[in-house]
């Protein structure tokens, strides 16, 4: 049997091609293509990127052409409403007729990278922030994900912006001096605080530049700067708030797995403080990093879609992924 799993984001679409022969799985090949956010490229545009990925993955696996798929699961940025799912499912039916298919937000396949399709929750803290709960009946609940103007609390952008504000207040003498001043000025390549103004206001909001300051803030917090530590603590609290809201709305059992995704969680201090806060609030989640990438997680969901999922399949999928990605 043949399966494909897709992780389509705002800048890149990724696909794994998976083969099953009896009790053995093999991740045959991986393909990458252009942006796949359906709000930007539309469902039909996403299908084009998936076709490119599939052809590339087949070639990487030594196949003359893409195989006939038994199941395909797509996680795409921009799928957040029932009408988004319906539009994408319609495009899948036209592009891949007679293939069992599902369409989800990309957060759901990121979750599957940790749970392999089991119910649970995922929290994403990168440039932005959001959290999703996925239930056994296939339904999902989202908190956060409102973007940098309306939300993104606890994100890299929020950390960078608050650090910049603390630097300007320290410059005015309204707050205590902080090592963030020299660290941020150095990171941005400017000499003094007033040089921040043309960077921030010289064009569109420099989201990536601001979010890119988060590692600087984390580093200063690890070195003991009190202001930086306050900024990080607030971010940890805000991200935990997203998860707490899921606990109230998600209908998940206690305990449930909580997969953490995004650049902030790659920092061990941030991850450990988040784990401590989840435990302190007794939210009934068990934070863990994913065991495979989102596209591979989507493959695990495709297996569940096409065939009865047996306990041995989890270990077999993880072993196959570890062998292919090593």
pLDDT, tens digit, 9 for 90 and up, residues 281-293: 999 888 989 999 9
Q: Above 60 in pLDDT, residue 296?
A: yes
Mean pLDDT across the chain, nearest whole number? 92
The total of structural domains in the chain comes to 2
To 10 degrees, what angle do helices 311-325 and 294-306 make? 150
Residue 55's CATH number:
3.30.420.40
Same domain, 127 and 271: yes
Q: Measure the CA–CA gap between 41 and 10, rounded to whole angstroms.
A: 9
Task: Quote the tokens at residue 299.
Answer: 């493959």
Same domain, 59 and 182: no
Give mean pLDDT, residues 227-236.
97
Same domain, 95 and 22: yes
Q: Measure the CA–CA gap between 303 and 220, rounded to whole angstroms.
A: 45
Same domain, 318 and 233: no
Same domain, 308 and 248: no
pLDDT of amino acid 325: 62
Same domain, 92 and 144: no
Q: Measure the CA–CA gap between 288 and 106, rounded to whole angstroms.
A: 18
Q: Measure the CA–CA gap between 116 and 140, rounded to whole angstroms.
A: 16
Same domain, 306 and 183: no
User: Which among 254, 258, 262 has a CA at the least distance from the CA of 235?
Assistant: 262
Give mean pLDDT, residues 17-29.
94
Give mean pLDDT, residues 159-181.
96
Q: Measure the CA–CA gap between 54 and 5, rounded to whole angstroms.
A: 10
pLDDT in tens, 268-285: 999 999 999 999 999 988
Same domain, 127 and 275: yes
Same domain, 136 and 279: yes
Consecutive H or E run containing 256: strand 256-261
Same domain, 200 and 315: no
pLDDT of amino acid 51: 95
Top-confidence residue, 39 or 317? 317
Give mean pLDDT, residues 288-310.
93
pLDDT of amino acid 54: 95
Consecutive H or E run containing 94: helix 82-95
Based on the number of CB atoms within 10 Å of its own CB, is 26 exposed (0-12), middle (13-18) or buried (19 or more)? middle
Q: Do the strands 285-288 and 256-261 form a parallel or antiparallel pair, or are they unpaired?
A: parallel
Percentage with pLDDT > 90 across the chain: 72
Same domain, 284 and 317: no
Give mean pLDDT, residues 61-79.
93
Consecutive H or E run containing 163: helix 156-172
Assess contact for 88 and 77: CB atoms under 8 A. no
pLDDT of amino acid 286: 87
Same domain, 183 and 315: no
**CA dist 269 to 174, 242, 252, 274, Å?**
28, 19, 27, 8
Give mean pLDDT, residues 89-98.
95
Residues β-bridged to residue 102:
73
Q: Domain range spanning residue 48?
A: 2-116+291-325
Q: Above 90 in pLDDT, residue 167?
A: yes
Assess contact for 239 and 263: CB atoms under 8 A. no
């Amino acid at each position: 049997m043949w399966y494909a799993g897709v992780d389509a984001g705002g800048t890149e679409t990724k696909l794994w091609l998976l083969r099953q022969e009896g009790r053995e799985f093999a991740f045959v090949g991986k393909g990458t293509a252009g942006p796949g956010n359906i709000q930007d490229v539309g469902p039909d545009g996403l299908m084009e990127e998936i076709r490119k990925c599939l052809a590339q993955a087949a070639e990487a696996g030594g196949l003359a052409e893409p195989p006939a798929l038994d199941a395909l699961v797509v996680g795409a940025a921009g799928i957040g409403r029932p009408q988004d799912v319906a539009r994408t499912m319609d495009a899948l039916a036209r592009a891949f007729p007679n293939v069992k298919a599902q369409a989800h937000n990309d957060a759901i396949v990121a979750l599957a990278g940790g749970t392999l399709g089991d119910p649970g929750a995922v929290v994403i803290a990168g440039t932005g922030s959001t959290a999703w709960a996925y239930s056994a009946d296939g339904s999902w609940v989202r908190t956060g994900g409102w973007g940098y103007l309306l939300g993104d609390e606890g994100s890299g952008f929020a950390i960078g912006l608050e650090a910049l504000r603390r630097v300007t207040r320290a410059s005015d003498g309204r707050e205590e001096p902080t090592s963030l001043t020299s660290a941020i000025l150095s990171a941005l390549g400017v000499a003094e605080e007033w040089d921040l103004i043309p960077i921030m206001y010289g064009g569109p909001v420099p989201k990536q530049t601001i979010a890119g300051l988060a590692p600087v803030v984390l580093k200063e917090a690890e070195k003991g700067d009190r202001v930086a530590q306050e900024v990080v603590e607030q971010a940890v609290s805000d991200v935990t708030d997203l998860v707490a809201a899921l606990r109230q709305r998600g209908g998940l059992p206690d305990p449930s797995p909580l997969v953490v995704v995004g650049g902030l969680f790659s920092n061990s201090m941030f991850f450990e403080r988040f784990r401590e806060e989840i435990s302190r609030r007794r939210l009934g989640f068990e934070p863990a990093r994913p065991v495979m990438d989102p596209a591979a997680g989507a493959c695990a969901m495709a297996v569940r879609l096409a065939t009865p999922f047996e306990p041995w399949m989890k270990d077999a999928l993880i072993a196959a992924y570890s062998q292919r990605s090593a």
